[in-house]
Amino acid sequence: MFAPAQEILHQAGSEAGGQGCAAPLADPFNESNEHLLYRQLDSFVIESDRPLHMNLDGEPLVERRFEFKTHPRALSVVLGSAS
């Protein structure tokens, strides 16, 4: 079973010399980072024994299971010229 989020963030803050959790989580490509992994996935599921509070697109939700899927080419993006 995974450690509670508070424990992970507390441990991450301790490992950063008291600088909070931002320092060790700042680089997801850091191979020694035990708290954050970078992955490219088509879908993933987050499940918990307890209800999780999550804010998705401005909507507060409380669930035990969240399923995320990508929709390729669903978003058109227009980039401006580089300054």
| Domain-wise residue ranges, the chain | 5-69
Give the Cα separation of 16 and 50 in Å (integer): 29
Classify each residue of 24-44 as buried b or exposed e, where b means 16 or more C-beta atoms within 10 Å of its C-beta. Answer: bbeeeeeeebeeeeeeeeeee
| Per-residue pLDDT tens over the stretch 41-62 | 999 999 999 999 999 889 999 9
Give the Cα separation of 52 and 60 in Å (integer): 10
| Per-residue pLDDT tens over the stretch 10-43 | 555 555 555 555 565 667 677 777 777 778 899 9
Give the Cα separation of 15 and 23 in Å (integer): 9
